[in-house]
Amino acid sequence: MAAPSRFSLKLRALFWRSLSNLSSSFFDRYFSTPAPPRASFVVSIPTTIAKVKGSIPLQFYTPRTYQQHRKLSNGSGRPSAGKLYPVVINFHGGGFTIGGPGDDARWAAAVVEEGVVLVSVGYRLAPEHPFPTGIEDCVAATLWIWEHADEFSLDKSRVIISGFSAGGNFCFAVPMRLYAELEERKKQGRPLFSSQSGKLAGILAFYPSVDWTQSRAERTASNAISGVKGPIPKALFDLFDHSYLYPGSLDMTSPYLSPGLAPDELLLNALPDSIYIHTCEWDQLLVEGEKFRERLKGLGKFVSGSMTKEVVHAWDKRPSFSKEHPVRDRVYAEAMGEMMKMLDSKS
């Protein structure tokens, strides 16, 4: 069967984006309590890595003390001394095709309660921008945050990346693409930053996809209950795959598509030592996520996290409709504990 046209994919993507905004963002914001926070402010930055130029919105979620402690200019164009905040750079989910940087507002709320700034990246979506544009936008955002850390009172040596689903894939693909970018700049003798380079202190990845060499059918077969309990219809999976994996001749073993298959040396050099991976019992991505967890442990990485029983993919993004969400609260608290360990190790 021939792949759908790009025009057809764009129309379908618009439909699913509207439905996603209604079922998740609208109902979660107006029919669940407490309401998720809104971004403190938004900064739009230019693309610097991708071939197709454009802009990338960055949503900043900040602790209550941020504005009073933010460093002010001393008149010389340089920021004066002040508090530096650790930062989590977040990549949202949505099959690389739907969703947006505000989808993880409840995650952002948990992060800022720990006194950490969260920056959610509005990377460009497929099918308008297929692989690898989203990854390259997230690399550009990470570099920009490092380069402008002083301006926004951020501690560039205490940076963590987080992501959900497709964003979980980016949690591993982005550091590897970032590593390649920095190595290329070194070879060309290009300056890396105006000051000392930034550092990744850790990764917080939720139900990531890490092996695109498997078909959807093979993924479901690896965890049969996901075919019964899974909430994502085949039509949506087809949209995700045809939109992002364009053209169809892509090498699915690329580390930027399948981080779980990346060479050992690249994983060792590009990924930080501390990694948190959360998986779901009723998810077709469970087996590849757990396999990757064990591989990283075998390489000497410190890998924490857990598998939550009896939950489906993206379970934490569903509206609670004014009910408490104790499982989500427990998992986010677990991740917060690991986040603080990662940040403390770099302080």
Q: Which of 92, 242, 278, 313 is catalytic?
A: 313
**Residues in a beta bridge with 276:** 204, 304
Rounded to an integer, what is the distance from CA 342 to the centroid of its chain? 17
Residue 76 annotated among the catalytic residues of the structure? no
Residue 165 annotated among the catalytic residues of the structure? yes
Q: Which of 24, 165, 243, 304 is catalytic?
A: 165
Q: Cα angle vertex 162, ends 55, 178, to 5°?
A: 60
Q: Does residue 125 contact residue 98 with C-beta atoms inside 8 Å?
A: yes
Residue 243 annotated among the catalytic residues of the structure? no
Q: Which of 137, 283, 304, 316 is catalytic?
A: 283
Peptide bond preceding 132 in cis form (omega within 30 of 0): yes
Side-chain-side CA neighbours of 150 within 13 Å: the count stands at: 13
Nearest to 173 by CA among 112, 244, 247, 78: 244
C-alpha–C-alpha distance, residues 138 and 92, integer Å: 11
* Token reading at 257: 């598509």
Task: Report, as residue numbers or ranges, the catalytic residues.
Answer: 165, 283, 313
